[in-house]
Chain A
Amino acid sequence: MVLFEIKNLSFSYPEAEKKALDCISLTVKEGELIVLCGPSGCGKTTLLRSLKPPAAPHGSRDGEILYRGIPLNEVPDRRLAEEIGFVFQNPDNQIVTDKVWHELSFTLESLGLDSAAIRRRTAEMSGFFGISGWFEHDTADLSGGQKQLLNLAAAAAASPKVLLLDEPTAQLDPVAAADFFSALLRISRELGTTVILSEQRLEEILPYADRAAVMENGRIIADGTPQAVGKHLKESANGMYGAMPSAMKIYYGLDSVGECPVSVRDGRRFLGEYLKDLSNRPSVERKKTEEKAPAIETRDLWFRYEKDSPDILKSLNLTVPSGSFFAVTGANGSGKSTLLSLLSGLLKPCRGNIRLEGKKISKYSQSELYSGIVSLLPQSPQALFTKSTLKEELEEAAKARGVSEARLDEIRRLTDIKELSDRHPYDLSGGEQQRAALAELLLSEPRILLLDEPTKGIDAVYKSKLAGIIKRLCRNGTTVLTVSHDIEFCAEYADFCAMLFDGKIIASAPARDFFAGNTFYTTAANRISRDYFSNAVTNDEVVELCRKQKEN
């Protein structure tokens, strides 16, 4: 049974010359799990929102959308609320009430169910999603992953026929994302709910999708099974190919036969077949990076927020070489953001000392510290923007710090934000906001740049752009320390990597060696190839080793 039928849908925002959606045609059958992918700004969000009228953007619309045979705008509001659920990207903003139980019952209250029915349904939901433990908690006390799970439960509470999700795991760490996906898959499989979601994290969800649709500039350029879509992207050399799962990229990197693998498991099977006659365990040779003098050094660092609260950092020792791109990874809540706050001088350690560029951090004055030694890029760059256009913002900041027009131009070029000058900072996409915030920070010429989760919610294209900027900064002598969950990003671009656990740094090594040494906390390429290659971490390394094998 066809649930949605979209015929030649076109949409443009008011006063925009370009169409946001351009003649989109898509059919969604009941029970399907469809993944929408595409670069930032391609129209995924616009398309998803158009499928739910209360969230639909204003503008001029052409073409039609049929929901179960009826035009979507003729479906009564009550039916829309009951049958179509929506989960947005930001876990925090969707939550309305202050208590978990109230949030769960919100939809049911709006639909007018009586107390007994609501109690029953919320009990069911809590059991199904495993929320029963925190039923009475305040929503403010939940972690990001829990919040998004709550949002999913709240959207599913009315037993909808279809769930629409707009990049639901963009703001979550990998573990929370995995939990979210497993809950989503349970809904899809066990309840038969149709799921349409847009995602950047294709590695985990694409293997389970029935269909994938790739969008670019408002059009659907590929639509079919994940394997078919991957093939199409590879053949047309599209940029989105870079977002495809590792297994697929390895497959296409070699002249392979047989079915294209999508999941890690399929990838391992494929590699097993390909390397049937492998006798030894080759490894990648990596050149030793020379270690320079440390730019950041901490010794015996202890910290806790209050006298009675547990220690967050316990005797932490960290050495960051100058001019390197250093990544600190660790589970959610392990203290990474606290470490950054300490390194940037926002918090004072309870014990131990921190040296920046050889000098103790307490010896620097406030103004000295922030105008030329260290800068911190926060997780939400919106916290920095005060003016209504980017141009004003940067010019004001440049004036305040005494930076010349020429240098400002140079920084603009470095961070690639020249075309964004007339836009309002809040209208920019995640990646653009980040680069703009980075530009503002670079005005102070910091020797040490601290980045807090820079790749959250950023698409593959911007990630590589960001990596390029960071590399250029490192070449010029800036030390960049980032705290990140994004294993693939760190493995690909970082020079050194360290893991934070139980308040200490427990491992610190050159990035690729670091991930090669882990069993779970490592890249998909590593997990696919670890039985055959001892330390291949990126797709390219795997492909190279395979090719070398075939040559022999």
Chain B
Amino acid sequence: MSRAFDSLHPAVSFVFFLCAVGFSMCCMNPVMLLISFISSLLFLFVLTGEKSLKYLLFSFPAAAAVAAVNTAFNHRGATILLYVNGNPITLESIVYGTASGIMLMSVIIWFACLNRVMTSDKLIYLFARVSPSLSLLFSMILRFVPKMKRRAKHIASAQKCSGAAAAKTADRIKNSLSAVVILISWSFEDAADTADSMKCRGYGLPGRSVFYKYSLTLKDVSVLAAIILFAAFSAAGGISGAVYVSYFPAYSAAACGGPAFFTYAAYAVLLNIPLGLCLTEELKWCFLKSKI
């Protein structure tokens, strides 16, 4: 189902996540926070299925933890609940803490979605537009890090089996250090081969081009336009103060009324664009299947 959004041009997904994370971080309005939290969870559910429930369950203790930390340091607010060490614990600071916790969780969940959508291919493509050699370097790092991890495991088991594993902690530390030495020297030796391979294939010749795997289609442009449009509306609403709430000294529920609702609506649409794309795709398939 998530292919509808995965198949978009990387720049479009990048702009979307930039808006999602950026707006989530900037706005403390509880309605906006809830919209962001729920949208991110729904999208993550579409992307990863049951694993997203783990994030939902984790949100509650996380928000509670942030609220606890906030109240320990922030003693402002008009409604005093108790005194700890002489300073007041106020309702406002608990509410603010919870709101911050939810914001934190939304950002984390958006990043989880980003992780799933922006594969290394797409990141490399975006890098390549900026600097081709940087993107090649990124690609090589993505290759070498898992390779070295696997090799380190191999070395550890080889060392263990050769009878080199010792009982004393000092010896074991020495063995780990020698394992690191082996890893480094072995990888250096192999890197010489890789360098030869690169040289043989013409690396270093002037005029290196980049293979662009993605191209902008009409769908990409229209989705990008929609994202920018709704982002502009939400930003306008935010900047103009229509959705401004203050938590201290007392909570002001001033963000109601026409412009506020308009901003909420625009924000909700913005954050649910990918979800919308995925659902429309699913519906289209069901419709087509039912015609057979």
Contacts and interface: CB of A to CB of B under 8 A. Distances in A.
Contacts of B166: 367, 400
Nearest to A102: B139
A69 interface: no
A382 interface: yes
Interface residues of B, number: 53
B114 interface: no
A94 interface: yes
A440 B158 CA distance: 12
Nearest to A401: B163
B211 A105 contact: yes
Given A366-B165, A386-B182, A88 B197 contact: yes
A366 B157 CA distance: 12
Contacts, number: 171
B152 to A, nearest CB: 10
A98 B193 contact: no
A344 interface: yes
Contacts of A115: 209-212
A90 B206 CA distance: 28
Contacts of B164: 384, 397, 400
A55 B194 CA distance: 11
A81 B205 contact: yes
Contact of B196 (A54, A110, A446): A54
B129 interface: no
Contact of A98 (B132, B139, B181): B139
Contact of A370 (B121, B136, B163): B163
Interface in A367-407: 367, 370-371, 374-376, 378, 380, 382-386, 397, 400-401
Nearest to A139: B143
B173 to A, nearest CB: 14
Given A81-B205, A384-B162, A441-B162, A140 B194 contact: no
B286 interface: no
Interface in A97-131: 97-99, 101-102, 105-115, 118-119, 122
Contacts of B165: 366-367, 370
Query: What are the 4 closest A-B residue pairs judged by CB atoms, nearest first?
Result: A81-B202, A110-B202, A383-B158, A93-B193
Interface string A82-94: 1001101010111
Contacts of A78: 202, 205
Given A98-B140, A110-B201, A139-B143, A444 B154 contact: no
A23 interface: no
Scoring A99, A140, A386, A446 by chain B CB atoms within 10 A of each residue's CB, the highest score goes to A386
A154 interface: yes
Interface in A135-179: 136, 139-140, 151, 154-155, 158
27 contacts: A54-B200, A93-B190, A93-B191, A93-B197, A94-B197, A96-B140, A97-B140, A98-B140, A99-B120, A102-B124, A102-B139, A102-B211, A109-B211, A110-B205, A111-B202, A112-B206, A115-B209, A115-B212, A344-B161, A345-B161, A346-B161, A367-B166, A370-B163, A375-B161, A383-B155, A400-B171, A426-B185
A341 B163 contact: no
B162 A96 contact: no
A370 B202 contact: no
A463 interface: no
A444 B202 contact: no
Contacts of B207: 112
Nearest to A52: B200
Q: Is the interface of A mostly helix, strand, loop or mixed?
A: helix
B200 A93 contact: no
Interface of A: 52, 54-55, 77-78, 81-82, 85-86, 88, 90, 92-99, 101-102, 105-115, 118-119, 122, 136, 139-140, 151, 154-155, 158, 341, 344-346, 366-367, 370-371, 374-376, 378, 380, 382-386, 397, 400-401, 426, 440-441, 443-444, 446
B136 A382 contact: no
B202 A88 contact: no
Given A370-B165, A400-B166, A109 B210 contact: yes
A103 to B, nearest CB: 9
Contacts of B199: 54-55
A327 to B, nearest CB: 20
Contacts of A122: 211
Nearest to B124: A102
A12 to B, nearest CB: 20
A343 to B, nearest CB: 10
B203 interface: yes
B208 interface: yes
Contacts of B124: 102
B159 interface: yes
Interface in B161-190: 161-167, 171, 178, 181-182, 185-186, 189-190
Contact of B211 (A55, A119, A140): A119
Contacts of A55: 196, 199-200
Contact of A112 (B182, B200, B201, B208): B208
A139 B139 CA distance: 11
Contacts of A82: 202
A101 B139 CA distance: 12
Contacts of A344: 161
B257 interface: no
A385 to B, nearest CB: 7
Contacts of A105: 211
Nearest to B158: A383
A383 B209 CA distance: 38
Contacts of A98: 120, 139-140, 142-143
Given A97-B136, A112-B209, A346-B160, A90 B182 contact: no
A77 B208 CA distance: 14
B256 interface: no
Contacts of B204: 77, 110
Contacts of A92: 147, 190
A370 B167 CA distance: 12
